[in-house]
Chains A and B, each alone.
Chain A
């Protein structure tokens, strides 16, 4: 069925129509969701979300999802108490392992079951939660009461012990506080165990939060004008408020005052300030009984609390074990109903009608799935799949694997390719890491990169689908890209002969220093070439120690980058031709490919040829001064036909001719296509076609742009063929206005040069910078370590190695690597893709459970 999908073009798509019996609609869609290779079109786009067939089901599932989410939240900390308790109990939600079909195609009653169970569980958990909170509140109250009883008790003990003393001091001292005077007067007749009530002294005991105690005291003092005796102390343990889950520091207070009114006033004040008052008996024996009783109740409550908690924990633990898988079931189910909402229902034949895009290569699989589901259900009516003829633009889909996906995503980040156009992703697999390596050329750094990539690839099983840390995840995603970048960096490192900035002496050098007889240290020596021998692979290692090293590498790397740029751009331009051929647009060949190619070759192609020619000529043997290529290029534009330094015979004629070609190409490139389109437009108008709307949409312009619609009477709103027509019409309008504009040849030329070949000089700059930086890193650290000898030397080497290695990883590999990657990215996007990439595609978004679950 069709050609196999390759990365060269997006997959061949077909618009298919499915007829599915209503009974098995859910099952079919669910199976297709597992398959994930069909993108359903919305056949009910005119109805809103509430009018659709399965709105009710979706609502219900939303509710289940909410229940599951709240129980998840329960475990993860909305209620802080449970979260901490859960942690102690070690209850965690088990994540669902990826790619495991535990929950494939749930049946309808399974979903109902799940919904019911969720309802019940929610009720039960919230009940338990509530009763637990009530119990907790009671417990707190009891604890507070106990504290109050103890505090009050100690006050009473103290008071009785002092009664005698008070009486005596009271008689002597008239200025003693009222309270004490009162006490003194009343205790005068009473015995030691006499009750305060007889003395008409009331008291109030309670608990108040610690931050309010000062205000409380002050208010009491002012309103009662000091007619009170207050004793307070801090509660040693902090209590947890069961409602808010916050810890509260509280103080216990006991207040004595004279007279019923005053006591009730105090009670009002303390209640208004949020204090909790507790009943305390003033009789010592009764009080002892009270304390005893409170202790008893606390103990009882403790055991009840324990029980409730363990029941709740058991309940939650049971949910936790299944929560993740339930969640998956619900999500899938919801996706199924959302897809079903896009279907049409044929009342007469009782079937669901669906339409969607599907890669041609996946059609057989879809057919099989449909048959399987029908067979399983034991239905007599088969599900029918039907390919439709259409003039709508299909979505763009690339079949990627784990190796190519990262590269393809680079391209997709720039834009979605037009359906079936040449996919830049294929060439990017090599050109992207290679251009990176030209800037990152170092055997050592390349090896480190390769090592990291290989480690990640070897541990794929453990790392797949796990989120560890954002930056690491990104690196993991691009691990195969890193592999390629590392591998190519090894190669360029060999060519540059750089291993952590040190050379390898793989082959004998082509240079030899001849030492004069009168040699003294620091005499400058110039190497002699060994005749007829050239260093066979990479840069001669003798250049590394040479003082004029940069002189050579600078010119070499600059020329290298120019030639690389030329090759990369020429390759990219060829794709224009392939696209024009494929889409049968000869105007793109004559109006775009040919002039740009001629322009490029007559300037940059010529430049490359002269560079190589200059390298090939033995200028010393010829006895001529080697001409400067840069000067040649400049004078080629400034004074055509005049030669300053001759490179070869007849140079002026060749250069004038090439310049003439380039000069012709510019207006040709800029005018021919728009003029052609305008002419075509006029032809169409002459034939009687008119723009369809006031916006100037001339869909008749495009030979594919016939009024759209399919055999079944559906009309579709969006048609990308219309877009093409619109764009063409706009272009045509633009020409009408801008025709008289002058073309500034010089400006365009400079623009072209800056935006093309000059951009590739980044290869030169970055590779030089990388080599220099790694050399500096070496001399600043390890070289110092090696300079010392003896024990100091050993320590120095260890220390400086540590520094050097960390700097190498951090700065040279990670930082410089990221930089080189971004530069390579720009070359791929701007310099290469902008030449031929059409974009404007619609991405293929299949109905796939995998994608639905990934969205979380």
Chain B
């Protein structure tokens, strides 16, 4: 479902959202605030999401645990 390509696909989606936000931002005296906020939000959220995905793309450690209940195992 999700692999390395997701980063690119996500980027494309984010770019579309950013462009749409830039164009569709409410006109008026607060236009600059709207545009800057939308673009920065898209950028920040994309970076955060992409980095989280990248960190798990080729994990070097695996989770381990020993406090399983019997019901869970069966």
Binding site for B on A (CB under 8 A): 4-8, 399, 401, 403-404, 426-427, 429-431, 434, 438, 488, 491-492, 495, 507, 510-511, 513, 515, 519, 521-529, 532-540, 542-543, 545-549, 551-552, 555-556, 559-560, 563-564, 567, 612, 615-620, 626
CB of A608, distance to nearest CB on chain B (Å) = 10
Which B residues touch A7, using CB under 8 A?
32-33, 36
**Assembled-state Cα–Cα distance A515/B68 (Å):** 10
Q: Which of B28-70 contact A (CB under 8 A)?
A: 29-33, 36-37, 40-41, 43-45, 47-49, 51-68, 70
Q: Is the CB of A431 within 8 A of B51?
A: no
CB of A565, distance to nearest CB on chain B (Å) = 12
Which B residues touch A535, using CB under 8 A?
2, 53, 56
Which A residues touch B52, using CB under 8 A?
495, 537-539, 556, 560
Q: Is the CB of B64 within 8 A of A615?
A: no
B26 within 8 A of A: no
Q: Is the CB of B54 within 8 A of A616?
A: yes
Q: Is the CB of B63 within 8 A of A546?
A: yes
Which of B2, B30, B55 gathers the greatest number of chain A CB atoms within 10 Å?
B55
Which B residues touch A536, using CB under 8 A?
1-2, 6, 53
Chain B residue total in the interface (Cβ 8 A): 40
Contact with A along B1-13 (1 / 0, CB 8 A): 1111010000000
Q: Is the CB of B73 within 8 A of A427?
A: no
**Assembled-state Cα–Cα distance A519/B68 (Å):** 10
Given the known interface contacts A426-B32, A536-B2, the answer about A615 and B55 at a Cβ–Cβ threshold of 8 Å is yes
Which B residues touch A563, using CB under 8 A?
47, 51
Chain B residue with the shortest CB-CB distance to A621: B58
Which A residues touch B45, using CB under 8 A?
491
Chain A residue with the shortest CB-CB distance to B63: A546
Which A residues touch B57, using CB under 8 A?
534, 615-616
Q: Is the CB of A559 within 8 A of B51?
A: yes
The 8 closest A-B pairs by CB, nearest first: A546-B63, A536-B2, A6-B32, A430-B40, A524-B66, A615-B54, A526-B64, A618-B58
CB of B51, distance to nearest CB on chain A (Å) = 5
Chain A residue with the shortest CB-CB distance to B54: A615
Q: Is the CB of B3 within 8 A of A533?
A: yes
Which A residues touch B29, using CB under 8 A?
4-6, 399
Within 8 Å by CB of A430, from B36, B64, B66, lies B36
CB of A766, distance to nearest CB on chain B (Å) = 15
Which A residues touch B1, using CB under 8 A?
507, 533, 536
Chain A residue with the shortest CB-CB distance to B59: A529
Within 8 Å by CB of A491, from B33, B48, B56, lies B48
**Assembled-state Cα–Cα distance A515/B67 (Å):** 13
CB of B39, distance to nearest CB on chain A (Å) = 9
Chain B residue with the shortest CB-CB distance to A494: B49
CB of B46, distance to nearest CB on chain A (Å) = 11
Q: Is the CB of A6 within 8 A of B31?
A: yes
Q: Is the CB of A552 within 8 A of B65?
A: no
Q: Is the CB of A427 within 8 A of B40?
A: yes
Q: Is the CB of A430 within 8 A of B65?
A: no
Which B residues touch A564, using CB under 8 A?
47-48
Q: Is the CB of B37 within 8 A of A430?
A: yes
Chain A residue with the shortest CB-CB distance to B68: A525
CB of B56, distance to nearest CB on chain A (Å) = 5
Chain B residue with the shortest CB-CB distance to A9: B32
8 residue pairs from A and B, CB less than 8 Å apart = A427-B36, A495-B49, A524-B64, A524-B65, A526-B63, A545-B63, A545-B67, A552-B63
Which A residues touch B62, using CB under 8 A?
511, 526-529
CB of A558, distance to nearest CB on chain B (Å) = 11
Q: Is the CB of A430 within 8 A of B58?
A: no
Q: Is the CB of B32 within 8 A of A545?
A: no
Q: Is the CB of B60 within 8 A of A534?
A: no
Q: Is the CB of B58 within 8 A of A616?
A: yes
Which B residues touch A546, using CB under 8 A?
63-65
Given contacts A434-B44, A620-B58, 20 further A-B contacts (CB under 8 A): A6-B32, A6-B33, A403-B33, A426-B32, A495-B48, A495-B49, A526-B64, A527-B64, A529-B62, A533-B1, A535-B53, A539-B56, A546-B63, A546-B65, A547-B65, A560-B55, A563-B51, A567-B47, A617-B58, A620-B60
**Assembled-state Cα–Cα distance A552/B31 (Å):** 42
Which of A4, A491, A536, A560 gathers the greatest number of chain B CB atoms within 10 Å?
A536
CB of A459, distance to nearest CB on chain B (Å) = 23
**Assembled-state Cα–Cα distance A107/B51 (Å):** 66
CB of A789, distance to nearest CB on chain B (Å) = 15
Q: Is the CB of A549 within 8 A of B63?
A: yes
**Assembled-state Cα–Cα distance A564/B51 (Å):** 10
Chain B residue with the shortest CB-CB distance to A522: B66
Chain B residue with the shortest CB-CB distance to A426: B36
CB of A555, distance to nearest CB on chain B (Å) = 8
CB of A530, distance to nearest CB on chain B (Å) = 10
Within 8 Å by CB of A545, from B3, B37, B65, lies B65
CB of B68, distance to nearest CB on chain A (Å) = 7
Chain A residue with the shortest CB-CB distance to B32: A6
Q: Is the CB of A521 within 8 A of B70?
A: yes
Given the known interface contacts A430-B37, A525-B68, the answer about A615 and B58 at a Cβ–Cβ threshold of 8 Å is yes
Given the known interface contacts A536-B6, A616-B58, the answer about A542 and B63 at a Cβ–Cβ threshold of 8 Å is yes
**Assembled-state Cα–Cα distance A536/B65 (Å):** 23
Within 8 Å by CB of B63, from A534, A543, A556, lies A543
CB of A370, distance to nearest CB on chain B (Å) = 23
**Assembled-state Cα–Cα distance A533/B57 (Å):** 8
**Assembled-state Cα–Cα distance A525/B55 (Å):** 22
Which A residues touch B66, using CB under 8 A?
522-525, 547
